[in-house]
Amino acid sequence: MTAQMRYVILQQEQDLKFVEMPSEYAYQLSALNLRLNKEIDKLTADQVPVLPRAIAECDYLDLLQESLQITSGLHYINELESSFSAIREENYPLISLLTEIRALQAQLEQWYEDEGMI
């Protein structure tokens, strides 16, 4: 039996990113993305990452251009955690955002391990 996957489509200016997530976690990634985008303007650090915005979710995705790629949800969340943990913020409680990122990261790691994918 193949795990049911869902795709979260993220947009940054004209670029699209397609993130493949286990179905039960796709909504969490979308909600996390919306929260991070809402809070990122409050950060005062010099090196704040630029975030794409979640614009859609879908159950099936066929990419028709070879230049486009699907990113694994675990890979994406690992990159997100790395970029946020590198922020040196003094005026905003960044720890709450990192906690949310790391919670989803742990859930995904467990899911991939249970599915035998890592």
> What is the reported pTM?
0.90
For residue 38, name the pLDDT band (cuts at 50, 70, 90).
Answer: very high
Range scoring the smallest mean pLDDT among 3-7, 26-30, 72-76, 114-118: 114-118
| pLDDT at residue 2 tops 60 | no
- 82 contacts: CB under 8 Å, gap ≥ 6: none
The percent of residues in the chain predicted with pLDDT above 70, rounded, is 97
**What pLDDT does 44 receive?**
84
Tens digits of residue pLDDT in 73-94? 999 999 999 999 998 877 777 8
Instruction: Give the pLDDT confidence of 43-69 residue by residue, as tens digits.
Output: 888 888 899 999 999 999 999 999 999
CB 78 within 8 A of CB 19: no
In whole angstroms, give the CA distance from residue 106 to residue 101: 9
d(CA 103, CA 18): 21
